[in-house]
Structure 1
């Protein structure tokens, strides 16, 4: 049932993602139209003896411009209504999907290009995984703090320098093997 929500979530997301084109002479990246038909790989794994899921955007397998989007931005969202594995109920999944859509739309308006890597579903929470340009950090924090004031489910906002995308490399390794 959760996979149906992931499918709906990713089919209707108005995303603006990073370009995979080679660096332009001016060192800038062209804005792209919203991407509707992105491919995601669903990965199953365990953490602390509990089943977990990751839905990872295949667009960034072998992505050449990681160093431009070198700041990881992970948003942890609590699941209030959970099943026995700690995963969100159907009602909770819809709330998360709406919150994620709001976050993506607000970031898209202000930041323009960034990389939406995907989500993880862990026992008791879900993470939204993004990579942004370091110069967009202040703007991203302002947007997310404003949303967090209205949305008590947002537990934390984590930003770290990660020019090689090491925090998500195991997902991309597993995605490559699965596909």
Structure 2
């Protein structure tokens, strides 16, 4: 019995040290996230006398890391089945959501980006993203593949926009 106590006493410091190291590792502060969590809000506006809707990620209002994502990437999707305002029907909205989810999923697997939101206008929907310039070729390859497989995918454009001026009016309209 005495030998068992000695064995347990000799093992106790080893067990307790490994547990304290584990606790120390989990207690360390995590690095600050480059991208905030997504929180979307809906804005209504008009373009050419037609109602439009923007679903904007309000977490990017006053975003401090814009310089890390200086290239706008806007993906335009045609609305095939639409109402009198050119907005998608319920069936069409499901199809758009599936396409948008695929785009987001495939881009996410390749690199980090900022998903600013979407706009719905007369006959089209745009997915608004900001990426790092070094990822433009990867994005093009992914989007070309998806566009070739989907007739609704109309186009995509890249524009240098380090201050995110193209979406500034949305953020001016977003409440805190």
Asked if Structure 1 and Structure 2 have the same fold, meaning a TM-score greater than 0.5 normalized by the shorter chain, the answer is yes
Q: How far has the Cα of 1:21 moved from its partner?
A: 4.0
Deviations 1:6-30 (A, max 9, x none): xxxxxxxxxxxxxx948xxxxxx5x
Deviations 1:16-51 (A, max 9, x none): xxxx948xxxxxx5x89xx5xx32110000000000
Task: For 1:152 and 1:158, locate their aligned partners in 2 and report how far apart those are by CA, in whole Å.
Answer: 17
Aligned to 2:116: 117
Is 2:63 aligned against 1:63? yes
Rg larger for: 2
More helix per residue: 1 or 2? 2
Runs of 4+ off more than 4 Å: none
Alpha-carbon RMSD across the aligned residues, in angstroms, is: 1.8
Q: How far has the Cα of 1:175 moved from its partner?
A: 0.6
Report 1:21-170 matches (<5 A): 21=32, 38-111=38-111, 113-170=112-169
Q: TM-score, normalised by structure 1?
A: 0.78
Uncovered stretches (5+) of structure 1, i.e. residues with no partner:
1-19, 23-28
- Partner of 1:67, secondary structure, is helix
Uncovered stretches (5+) of structure 2, i.e. residues with no partner:
1-30
Deviations 1:138-177 (A, max 9, x none): 000000000000011111101000000000000000013x
Q: How far has the Cα of 1:59 moved from its partner?
A: 1.0
